Structure 1
Amino acid sequence: MTSRAILAELPRMREYARYLTRDSSNADDLVQDSVARAITALNDQDEPDSMRAWLFSIMRNRHIDIMRRKAAAPDGLSADALDFEHAMPDMRLEASDFLRDLNKAFGSLPAELKETMWLVGVQGYSYAESATVMDIPVGTVRSRVFRARELLRDQMSDYFPRVQEQQDPGKGDGDD
């Protein structure tokens, strides 16, 4: 059952790895390394309650380790390599102003909000699964999603104007 459960998660793992690395080749390496670590860990323990969250946690932690090593090396990643638009090539190809603006707005989110919205909004993870992947409390996930949505809503206000609160016509304006 364990190998089947891991195999079932490979497409999502690869997609998340592409988001993390912004590169197909590095994503494949990250998935391969993460699966190898997961199999080794499963030999030493029972199968986790949430295989997907557990695998994503392994992959995220491995990616963080790799990024730390690269940052310490003289040829670390440039700021351009961390640009969100590299994670969503299909969005870059769209001519739509909306998609371009959404991509720009998403890319401008702080890193922790961007990752949280990626897991919850794009990957469809629950708050609890996202919290497990990022090793943070569920309440932190909720607040990050709220803040990210507010920032996105503000930046995309041309497309989604806020509805102004209107006074109930049945109530006076207080001048009675």
Structure 2
Amino acid sequence: MHAPEPFRRQLLDALPRLRRYARTLVHDAAGVDDLVQGTIERALSHWHQFDQRRDLLVWLLSIAHNAHHDSLRRDRRWQGLPPDELAQLQDAQAHHGPRDPGLRIDLLAAFAQLAPLHREVLLLVGVEQLSYAECAEVLQLPAGTVMSRLSRARAALRQALDGAPPARPPVPLKRVV
């Protein structure tokens, strides 16, 4: 049995946001395409399990999140954005970016420096405008954890944009007697 046409139209409408989220998880075009395709295939094959009272985008992002983390568990080779890819991205943005391409390049570079868990929560809340509860559902975390990660992510992004080194925990002073 095929998914109904309205469901398939909603999937198509959600594709740009799903791709944007996939790009924060996977940093190469082929990997993004694979993740998005796998997410859509899973959604289409399990469309009957979708609760119409839920937001379809939240459901899709949850599928993508779980698929990505399953993939990470299968191969532990994942690392951050490779420097050569970041340079290519910066070059491309310099030619097609906003009025201040330097700001966009700096923001992308700072964003790439963030831990994956911070990138995810910043994208879901800040860009996709999910509520804390929806973000918590996607990431399968308590809402309080989402809020604290978001706070730490914003602080780390500010530090990266300011060019400051990452904050270190304070070193206890030794008492001299």
**TM-score normalised to structure 2 length:** 0.70
Q: Show the counterpart of 1:35.
A: 40
Which residue is 1:151 aligned to? 156
- My pick for the range that moved more, 103-112 or 125-134, is 103-112
Cα separation, partners in 2 of 1:129 and 1:40, compared to 1, 3 Å: same
Q: Given the alignment of the two structures, is residue 14 of structure 1 paired with residue 15 of structure 2, yes or no? A: no
- Taking the aligned partners of 1:147 and 1:60, their CA distance within structure 2 comes to 20
> CA separation in 2, counterparts of 1:125 and 1:9?
14
Which residue is 2:8 aligned to? 3
Greater Cα offset, 78-87 or 128-137 = 78-87
Match for residue 93 of structure 1?
94
RMSD of equivalent CA atoms: 3.1
CA contact (8 A) 2:35 2:67 kept: yes
In structure 2, give the amino acid aligned to 1:115. Answer: E
CA contact (8 A) 1:85 1:92 kept: no
Give, in whole Å, the separation in 1 of the partners of 2:87 and 2:136: 25
Question: 2:170: which partner in 1?
Answer: none
1:70 is aligned to 75
Fraction of identical pairs, as percent: 37
- Residues 11-43 of structure 1: per-residue CA shift (max 9 Å, x gap): 111222222211222212211111111122222
- The structural deviation recorded for 1:83 is 9.4
Distance 2:49 2:150 in 1: 35
The alpha carbon displacement at 1:139 in A equals: 1.7
Distance in 1 (alpha carbons) for counterparts of 2:83 and 2:47: 32
Tell me which structure has the larger Cα radius of gyration: 1
Label 1:7 to 1:104 Cα distance change in 2 as closer, same or farther (>3 A): closer
Aligned length: 154
Q: Does 1:111 align with 2:112?
A: no
Residue 90 to residue 14, structure 1, CA distance change in 2 (3 Å):
farther
Q: Deviations over 1:54-97 (max 9, x none)?
A: 100001111111122222xxxx3455549994896677536844
Question: CA 1:122 to 1:98, structure 2 compared with 1: closer, same or farther past 3 Å?
Answer: same
